[in-house]
Chains A and B, each alone.
Chain A
Amino acid sequence: MVEKKQLNRHVYWNPYFGGFVLGLLIILTFYLTGRGLGASGALKSGVVTVVHTVAPTHAENNVYYSKFIKEGESPMNNWLVFEAIGVLLGAFLSGAFTGRLKLKVQHSPKITSRRRLVFALIGGVLFGIGAQVARGCTSGAALSGMAVLSTGGFITMLAIFGTGYAVAYFFRKNWI
């Protein structure tokens, strides 16, 4: 019995199947709401809300925050925030069904978990800055942008993956 559970743990969907279903989901999203998916927008709304609650005057004076602060309405009242909540629930359910719920740090056996966490933090900071500059991340700009043949989406995607390949050599110790 235990053996069977261990075997199931990292059986994922066929990537082509996953891509197909994801494509159908994007079509459905566009059909229903006219917009694509997104992920970093929800985090941005969260940050704006927190800063606005903690230091309202500073938030209003800052040029960037003030774009997202509307009178009488919390910045969290945003489509992306609700979608992000859905993502958390969906991923949790999928992990629960396949027995992948486990609190751990996933890292290559050649490095320590501490090093992995440090790099995760650095990567997160860089990605956060980059996502704001480019106005989108891989799911929002690249994926949904490619679905409507948007130039910005293609440029962002090429930039991300191109740079990724270019710097992959320097990070190889972390992964391989």
Chain B
Amino acid sequence: MGPLIPNGIIPEDWNYIIAILIGFAFGYILEASGFSSSRKLAGVFYGYDFAVLKVFFTSAVVAVIGLYYMDYLNWVDISQLFVQPTYLWAAIIGGMIMGVGFLAGGFCPGTSLCAVAIGKIDGIVFTLGLTIGIFIFSESFSALEPLFESSNLGNITLVDSLGISPYWIIFIFTIIALVAFYFSDWVRSKVKKVFY
């Protein structure tokens, strides 16, 4: 019942083995979907390849519908799942910096690990840049601390912020996703083809 390891159904020691297996599947799926290619990833911003949007939305919709069905059938206790804390300004500004970084480098940490694994040199350089960035952040932490720690709204979910029942949120989210898929195919047919 529920998340197995926090409830003690599977002993704690399996946690790391499960981590490796899950990471294995994650890496395989990402690479097989083509996310180790930076030009494919950047395609979503220029309209020539919407793989990022399709994979992202599909996985989010499938995951959220699956989890809520499992919660309905009492297989999982949703309140025990990890919901990350919301730091309002940190999320927005961090997201903005990440957006610029995404466009410049063409990767994100997960996909850059995939690129490293198949030998893309720009992936390796990107990963190096990530470590340098983390290092810079840690060194200048004292200056950035107020931004980092500000406005902690707690571990809130959309249900708490918007006050709508979660099932309606999922429904609206699904509709938005389906519309986005249809829209992306339309845009792709209009944009000049890019071969990579």
Touch test A–B (CB under 8 Å): yes
Residues of chain A within 8 A (CB-CB) of B59 are: 19-20, 22-23, 26, 143
- In the bound complex, what is the Cα–Cα distance between A105 and B124 (angstroms)? 10
Q: Does B187 contact A (CB under 8 A)?
A: no
Q: Does B28 contact A (CB under 8 A)?
A: yes
Contact yes or no, B118 A91, CB < 8 A: yes
Residues of B within 8 A of A22 (CB): 26, 29-30, 33, 55, 58-59, 62
Per the 8 Å Cβ criterion, residues 132-151 of B in contact with A are 132-139, 141-142, 144-145, 147-148
> Are A34 and B82 in contact (CB-based, < 8 A)?
yes
Q: Is A130 within 8 A of B103, CB to CB?
A: no
- Which residues of chain A are within 8 angstroms of B169 by Cβ–Cβ distance? 149
* Interchain residue pairs with CB less than 8 A apart (25): A10-B37, A13-B34, A15-B55, A27-B67, A30-B76, A43-B109, A51-B135, A87-B30, A87-B117, A90-B25, A91-B30, A104-B120, A124-B133, A126-B100, A126-B129, A127-B98, A133-B94, A135-B94, A139-B108, A139-B109, A149-B64, A150-B84, A151-B161, A175-B45, A176-B46
How far apart sit A148 and B80, CA to CA, in the bound complex (Å)? 11
> Do A83 and B99 contact each other (CB < 8 Å), given the known contacts A128-B129, A148-B67?
no
Question: Which residue of B32, B95, B133, B194 contacts A128 across the interface (Cβ within 8 Å)?
Answer: B133
Find out whether the CB atom of A32 lies under 8 angstroms from the CB atom of B95: no
Contact of B98 among A79, A121, A160 (CB under 8 A): A160
Q: How far is the CA of A21 from the CA of B62 in the complex (A)?
A: 9
Q: State how many angstroms separate the Cβ of B30 from the closest Cβ of chain A.
A: 6
From DSSP, what is the main secondary structure of chain B's interface residues?
helix
Known A87-B114, A143-B59: A40·B101 in contact at CB below 8 Å: no
Contact between chains at A62 and B141 (CB < 8 Å):
yes
> Would you call A122 and B129 a contact (CB within 8 A)?
yes
8 Å CB contact of A19 from B23, B43, B62: B62
Contacts A15-B51, A27-B67, A29-B22; A165 near B98 (Cβ below 8 A): no
Interface flags for A138-166 (1: CB within 8 Å of B; 0: not) read: 11011111111111111111111111111
A161 in complex: contacting residue of B55, B99, B109, CB < 8 Å: B99
Given A29-B22, A82-B19, 20 extra CB contacts under 8 A:
A10-B34, A12-B51, A16-B181, A26-B63, A65-B138, A83-B20, A83-B26, A90-B23, A91-B31, A100-B36, A102-B118, A121-B129, A125-B132, A128-B129, A129-B134, A132-B148, A135-B91, A138-B109, A149-B64, A152-B86
CA distance A112 to B53 in the complex (A): 28
Q: A91-B36, A133-B147, A135-B87 are in contact. Are A85 and B45 (CB under 8 A)?
A: no
Between A37, A137, A162, the greatest number of chain B beta carbons within 10 A of the residue's beta carbon is seen for: A137
Q: A100–B40 Cα gap in the complex (Å)?
A: 14
Q: Which 10 A-B pairs have the closest CB atoms?
A: A124-B129, A128-B133, A123-B105, A86-B23, A159-B95, A134-B94, A19-B58, A23-B62, A163-B99, A90-B27
